[in-house]
Chains A and B, each alone.
Chain A
Amino acid sequence: MNSEILGVVITFLITVLLAYPLGKYISKVFKGERTLTDFMNPVEKFFFRVCGINPTESMNWKQFLKAMLTINMLWLVYAFFLLIFQHKLPLNPDGNPGQTPDLAFNTAISFLVNCNLQHYSGESGLTYFTQLFVITFLQFVSAATGIAALVAVFNGLKEKTTENLGNFWSIFTKSITRVLLPLCIIAAIFLAFNGSPTSYDGKDSIVTLQGDSVQVSRGPAAGMIAIKHLGTNGGGWFGVNSAHPLENPNYFTNMLEMVIQVLIPVAMIFALGFYINRRKLSKVIFGVMTIGLLCLLIPTIITEINGNPAIEKLGVAQPTGAMEGKEVRFGPAASGYWSIVTTIISTGSVNSMHDSSMPMSGMMQLLGMMINAFYGGCGVGILNYLIYLIIAVFISGLMVGRTPEFMGHKVEAREVKIASLVMLLSAFLVKAFTALAAYMVAHHPEIAWQVKPGAWLNNPSYHGFSEMLYEFTSANANNGSGFEGLGDNNIFWNVTTGIVLILARFLPIIGPVAIIGLLAKKKFVPESPGTLRTDSWTFGMMTFAVIIVFNALSFFPALALGPIAEYFSMH
């Protein structure tokens, strides 16, 4: 057991040790200072020239968002049609069919918004062409979109008073050429050498030791597995994601995949400090987020290592912990760590079945996604944190008797309104749609849909409730992991989660960028001894309290009916 925990600790330490210099590097890239990757310059210039973009043109927050949203909508249409007509396109050695419109709607949105909720299995639901030119493509650009939005916020915070949040096209392109692509190439090489496939051949057929003949899906997977983690996307090449032996062959790749999915979110926190020259602020944010991680992680690992109390009651010893739904090559501690980082970071890749996690762990995973700001997704994690921070700034500003200020700008009614709306959105989307699903199951179980609502749930009762809650929480957090055990490839789930996904992606990006855009325009107020410092630990504690209290108040009844009820029924 101890070596398992040691493995988790080492994984975390490696992540932080790599993230710090990476953060410094990212800050340099966007400041336009000289870096190792300047050889990409001609490539970028070529793109800008071909597209007729002036990369030095300044943009205010509205122009920035307009550029971002326009190109995203374009990708959505592109992805939707390619998925529907994939069977008519090349690179389809296994002869997989085109997706139904509702599935394509869900899949296109899901990958566009960096969520990667998958209502299909990669082996049969996609072709190599769409895996590469829809899925992998969107995994790059959605991560870069998130990073670009965050860099816009950095720009707003950096200057005393400015309207210019930077040029979207330039930041976006650099996010790919200078950050995602180089890291991805390195990670993909590691994965390929450890056994992840990189061939364009179709299914292989092997004979197992037992003598059965088995069809094994393959494909150019290693590169996609790298970006799915680096870009906190999480959608797997294969249906069972990183529990699949070809997607995550051994303990080393498991560590690698755990490190690289946390890498950029943590590096962005440090980049914030370097970029706006407030390292204390990024230290405090990193501290608060890490405490949040530990609060979710420790109960999970303890629970998983201790095994299932229901099995214990049967008198069966569980020396290796709760192993249902877990891979023997990873064990409960590494699986527990993965399940928490993948939920707090909006990756949503899995190396174990979350449906089989203990109720306590299930609740921690749910909380990770509800909060969605402990490190959080590529770029967007800090944007979500910013919303909590604005609310914390407002309340604590009042508590010290001064009109609230953040980074030298007064936080007033308009900013509070935007922050409140964004905060409200997650509570609304998760609860309203879970309520809708619960209503369908309770009142119309026999409705003649493709899959009858009564047949949605593999488990009735509290666990079934958790399955529905998890699905919408995951969609709202743009996380993409599934509790599974849910019949989700049908019109109801494809459409509802699609709606949740797109709203929960873009409104929480628009909100913080607008807030910072509005704040940056205001007159700069220099700090005085009466100013509440936002880079103090006291304020960090306040932000943490706001995060916990807000989420507890929003989700307590839902959690009580799902994992909490299940937990107490088991004990």
Chain B
Amino acid sequence: MSKHKRTIRLFEPALVGKAVKQSFVKLSPRLMVKNPVMFTVEIGTAVMLAVTLYQLFTGDNSQGALWYNITIFTILLLTVLFANFAEALAEARGKAQAESLRRTREDTPAKKVFTVGEMYVNEVKVVPSSQLRKGDFFICEAGDVIPMDGEIVEGIATIDESAITGESAPVIRESGGDKSSVTGGTKVLSDKIKVKVTTEPGESFLDKMIALVEGASRQKTPNEIALTILLAAFTLIFIIVCVTLKPFADYANTPITIAAFISLFVCLIPTTIGGLLSAIGIAGMDRALRANVIAKSGKAVETAGDIDVLLLDKTGTITIGNRKATNFWPADGIETTDFISNCVFASLADQTPEGKSIVELAGEKNINAKQLPANTRMIEFTAETRSSGVDLPDGIKIRKGAFDAIKNIASSNGSSFPKETEARVNQIASNGGTPLVVAVNNKVQGVIELQDIIKPGIQERFERLRKMGVKTVMVTGDNPLTAKYIAEKAGVDDFIAEAKPEDKMNYIRKEQQSGKLVAMMGDGTNDAPALAQADVGVAMNSGTQAAKEAGNMVDLDNDPTKLIEVVEIGKQLLITRGTLTTFSIANDVAKYFAIVPALFIASIPALQALNIMGLKSPESAILSAIIFNAIIIPLLIPLALKGVKYRPIGASALLRRNLLIYGLGGVIVPFIGIKLIDMALGLFM
């Protein structure tokens, strides 16, 4: 099984070109006004343009040298463009990512079923997939590409979903049940299915996702709104600082040029985070998409970072799909080989994975499968008898089944249940296994031990979740004893045993009432209410349409452990915003030390003592500060797009770490950066 990763280089030339063009388009004030911080920079840029033009036409040099004002104007313009570029690049990457998915669903021929056709009932005609509407039916046979998302109403087929998931192993999809969903762009490898279209063209999850990334319908998340308010407040404070500086300077008899005022203002307002904020948000969605998770909203990704409780199905998530036979335990006085061969007889006709694993285990013990004699009657498993088996032509009846089912059979026929077998049954159950009792002609012969195999590496993942503060809950249909054993072995914090669909729902409600955020993953229609109730509901792409509608994310890989990645993506998104905000504001300390002495040095020479960086001249100090302010934006684009890594080391430790790197670093870095730029400028000035 190979996975082809859809990776896009950070600065893919084609995307960069598109983003550059977009950076200019985004200069439109109507778009800029959505970002208050950068909008004020744009206004400042416009004012500088006016000053420069005025100077060009009148030759009035009271506002400083022309070259100087032009330089300031250019740098300010670049600051705005850099911020736009960050956003445009994030959008372009997201779009490219989505595009590669969308390419799979270009117009393909579809075999549409017309219930009342021109010639017959249920006539099949080939039409372009774009003509399919919700509720239509189409047929797909081996070799066909499925034209639209839909639900199988008839038939079973193996399907190659590698175009969507990157997983090359084919999967089985069939009508009824929880694996009835097919996705447009995937390919039918065998058999024939009839599919009902479930979405209108342009409204599939993928289309919605692309719209989210493109910004058309991208809504700000609650945390993003709160942060925007805080940044706007900081911007206002610096407006106050700069406006009041004028009378202060008048009092101190210091003329300050418009260029200096605007430079001070632009340096102080949090342009770094303001410029990168929307890019960070888009990149978060993009990261989710790269993990093959389609989020229906940015909020869902963000909420994932806050999850307190994670509900996971046992089967397929914590344990490898199915139980396997691990041991044969004959009752006293029964020959082991006889017992095993009876077990094999009882299981040969049994096509369930458990049944197959019994035959396999017998093979390992060199008791090979014999052919069943002709005229053998198969006894299918039913929910009532809770046992299955065979009636051989020679009259021998072999049954295997749950402990109490077989016990009933034995006692109703007057034979006792061997003590040691009963003890063994209890022991198996308390070890998390499933005992399967075998009886021949109503006499108990022994018991087969079935065990759940816990997925390798799952304990570490749960450990990681625990460190993040996420409680894991295993949901299983097993009895409490078995469930407890597996829960302990796998390292989950809690379990719901003998779970019925409504139990999940109740558990989610209970946790939510105590104020917790709950995430769950599901695929079946009966999961839909719980998916809708959960704060983050991830539906598997293979699941039913109802489940996909109810959840707020769809996992294309159908990988139940994906939730863990989703949680980390959500956290990463918040951390990136928080750290860059801190960095941006911490930068101001150095900028003050560059600009304030520069403004007042002429009239208050004593303030030279504040020029701790030893910048050459007031002009060079101001230029250095705004150049630093501008170039830090593109320098931080990689960090904004990749995200600051989340480390499950505990909240306090993480805060200390990020404060040290982005807070203290944010204070120190600009001192170095501004000094270096000043030295470089010294070569020209």
Which A residues contact B (CB, under 8 angstroms)? 391, 394-403, 408, 411-413, 416-417, 420-421, 423-424, 427-428, 431-432, 434-436, 438-439, 441-443, 462, 465, 523-526, 528-533, 536, 538-539, 541-542, 545, 549, 552-554, 556-558, 560-561, 564-565, 568-569
Select the stretch in B33-41, B158-166, B247-255, B473-481 that faces chain A. Answer: B247-255
Known contacts A424-B236, A428-B240; is-contact A532 B651 (Cβ 8 Å) = yes
Contacting residue for B240 out of A412, A427, A526, CB 8 A: A427
How long is the Cα–Cα vector from A432 to B245 in the complex, in angstroms?
10
Give A103 Cβ to nearest chain B Cβ, in Å.
Answer: 26
How long is the Cα–Cα vector from A401 to B468 in the complex, in angstroms?
10
User: B244 near A: Cβ within 8 Å?
Assistant: yes
Could you tell me if A532 and B655 are in contact, using CB atoms closer than 8 angstroms? yes
Could you tell me if A401 and B247 are in contact, using CB atoms closer than 8 angstroms? no
Could you tell me if A539 and B652 are in contact, using CB atoms closer than 8 angstroms? yes
How long is the Cα–Cα vector from A549 to B581 in the complex, in angstroms?
13
Known contacts A401-B572, A539-B652, A549-B586; is-contact A394 B247 (Cβ 8 Å) = no
Contacting residue for A394 out of B226, B252, B471, B654, CB 8 A: B226
How long is the Cα–Cα vector from A264 to B655 in the complex, in angstroms?
33
Give B586 Cβ to nearest chain A Cβ, in Å.
Answer: 7
B-side contacts of A397, CB under 8 Å:
574, 578
| Closest A residue to B577 using CB positions | A398
Known contacts A399-B659, A565-B606; is-contact A553 B585 (Cβ 8 Å) = yes
Could you tell me if B467 and A529 are in contact, using CB atoms closer than 8 angstroms? yes
Could you tell me if B230 and A401 are in contact, using CB atoms closer than 8 angstroms? no
Could you tell me if A531 and B469 are in contact, using CB atoms closer than 8 angstroms? yes
- Over the window 563-598 of chain B, the binary record of Cβ atoms lying under 8 Å from chain A Cβ atoms (1 yes, 0 no) is 000000011111101110110011011001000100
Within B213-237, which residues are at the interface with A (CB < 8 Å)?
A: 222-223, 225-227, 229-230, 232-234, 236-237
Could you tell me if A395 and B652 are in contact, using CB atoms closer than 8 angstroms? no
How long is the Cα–Cα vector from A22 to B672 in the complex, in angstroms?
50
Known contacts A398-B574, A442-B247, A560-B610; is-contact A525 B515 (Cβ 8 Å) = yes
A-side contacts of B234, CB under 8 Å:
553
Q: Which residue, of B222, B305, B515, B577, has the highest number of chain A Cβ atoms within 10 A?
A: B515
Given contacts A413-B225, A565-B600, 9 further A-B contacts (CB under 8 A): A403-B306, A416-B226, A417-B229, A538-B653, A549-B589, A553-B592, A564-B607, A568-B606, A568-B607
Could you tell me if A438 and B248 are in contact, using CB atoms closer than 8 angstroms? yes
A-side contacts of B469, CB under 8 Å:
402, 528-531
Could you tell me if B596 and A556 are in contact, using CB atoms closer than 8 angstroms? yes
A-side contacts of B514, CB under 8 Å:
524, 526
Could you tell me if B244 and A528 are in contact, using CB atoms closer than 8 angstroms? no
User: B663 near A: Cβ within 8 Å?
Assistant: yes
- Top 3 A-B pairs ranked by shortest CB distance? A530-B469, A398-B578, A401-B571
Could you tell me if B575 and A400 are in contact, using CB atoms closer than 8 angstroms? yes
Could you tell me if A438 and B466 are in contact, using CB atoms closer than 8 angstroms? no
Q: Which residue, of A398, A428, A439, A564, has the highest number of chain B Cβ atoms within 10 A?
A: A398
Could you tell me if B229 and A435 are in contact, using CB atoms closer than 8 angstroms? no
User: B528 near A: Cβ within 8 Å?
Assistant: no
B-side contacts of A421, CB under 8 Å:
233
Contacting residue for A533 out of B268, B572, B646, B652, CB 8 A: B652
Could you tell me if B247 and A398 are in contact, using CB atoms closer than 8 angstroms? no
How long is the Cα–Cα vector from A497 to B588 in the complex, in angstroms?
30
Give B21 Cβ to nearest chain A Cβ, in Å.
Answer: 32
How long is the Cα–Cα vector from A530 to B233 in the complex, in angstroms?
28
Known contacts A394-B230, A435-B247, A561-B600; is-contact A413 B655 (Cβ 8 Å) = no
Known contacts A438-B251, A564-B607; is-contact A556 B592 (Cβ 8 Å) = yes
Bin chain B's interface residue count: 35 or more
Could you tell me if B655 and A557 are in contact, using CB atoms closer than 8 angstroms? no
User: B604 near A: Cβ within 8 Å?
Assistant: yes
Contacting residue for B663 out of A428, A530, A545, CB 8 A: A545
User: B650 near A: Cβ within 8 Å?
Assistant: yes
Could you tell me if A542 and B651 are in contact, using CB atoms closer than 8 angstroms? no
User: B308 near A: Cβ within 8 Å?
Assistant: yes
Could you tell me if A549 and B585 are in contact, using CB atoms closer than 8 angstroms? yes
Give B504 Cβ to nearest chain A Cβ, in Å.
Answer: 21
| Closest A residue to B471 using CB positions | A528
| Closest A residue to B646 using CB positions | A401
| Closest B residue to A416 using CB positions | B226
A-side contacts of B653, CB under 8 Å:
538
5 A-B residue pairs with Cβ-Cβ distance under 8 Å, sorted by A, are A416-B226, A431-B241, A525-B308, A553-B237, A557-B248
B-side contacts of A411, CB under 8 Å:
226
User: B470 near A: Cβ within 8 Å?
Assistant: yes
- Over the window 454-495 of chain B, the binary record of Cβ atoms lying under 8 Å from chain A Cβ atoms (1 yes, 0 no) is 000000000000111111000000000000000000000000
A-side contacts of B592, CB under 8 Å:
552-553, 556-557
How long is the Cα–Cα vector from A436 to B654 in the complex, in angstroms?
45
Could you tell me if B268 and A553 are in contact, using CB atoms closer than 8 angstroms? yes
User: B243 near A: Cβ within 8 Å?
Assistant: yes
- Over the window 615-628 of chain B, the binary record of Cβ atoms lying under 8 Å from chain A Cβ atoms (1 yes, 0 no) is 00000000000000
B-side contacts of A427, CB under 8 Å:
237, 240-241
Could you tell me if A401 and B515 are in contact, using CB atoms closer than 8 angstroms? no
How long is the Cα–Cα vector from A417 to B589 in the complex, in angstroms?
24
| Closest A residue to B512 using CB positions | A523
A-side contacts of B244, CB under 8 Å:
431-432, 434-435, 558
User: B370 near A: Cβ within 8 Å?
Assistant: no
Could you tell me if A412 and B222 are in contact, using CB atoms closer than 8 angstroms? yes
Give A331 Cβ to nearest chain B Cβ, in Å.
Answer: 30
Known contacts A394-B226, A568-B607; is-contact A553 B588 (Cβ 8 Å) = yes
| Closest A residue to B597 using CB positions | A560
Within B338-371, which residues are at the interface with A (CB < 8 Å)?
A: none
Known contacts A438-B251, A531-B469, A560-B596; is-contact A401 B654 (Cβ 8 Å) = yes
A-side contacts of B515, CB under 8 Å:
408, 523-526
B-side contacts of A413, CB under 8 Å:
222, 225-226, 229
How long is the Cα–Cα vector from A538 to B657 in the complex, in angstroms?
10
Could you tell me if B578 and A554 are in contact, using CB atoms closer than 8 angstroms? no
How long is the Cα–Cα vector from A432 to B246 in the complex, in angstroms?
11
Contacting residue for A561 out of B248, B467, B646, B659, CB 8 A: B248
A-side contacts of B227, CB under 8 Å:
394, 398, 416
Give B433 Cβ to nearest chain A Cβ, in Å.
Answer: 32
B-side contacts of A564, CB under 8 Å:
607, 610
Known contacts A403-B306, A528-B308; is-contact A545 B570 (Cβ 8 Å) = no
Give B103 Cβ to nearest chain A Cβ, in Å.
Answer: 34
A-side contacts of B208, CB under 8 Å:
none
| Closest B residue to A529 using CB positions | B469
| Closest A residue to B253 using CB positions | A442
Could you tell me if A536 and B571 are in contact, using CB atoms closer than 8 angstroms? no
Q: Which residue, of A432, A528, A558, A564, has the highest number of chain B Cβ atoms within 10 A?
A: A528
Give A542 Cβ to nearest chain B Cβ, in Å.
Answer: 6
How long is the Cα–Cα vector from A412 to B223 in the complex, in angstroms?
7
How long is the Cα–Cα vector from A413 to B588 in the complex, in angstroms?
24
Could you tell me if B236 and A400 are in contact, using CB atoms closer than 8 angstroms? no
| Closest A residue to B596 using CB positions | A560
- Over the window 425-468 of chain B, the binary record of Cβ atoms lying under 8 Å from chain A Cβ atoms (1 yes, 0 no) is 00000000000000000000000000000000000000000111
Could you tell me if A412 and B305 are in contact, using CB atoms closer than 8 angstroms? no
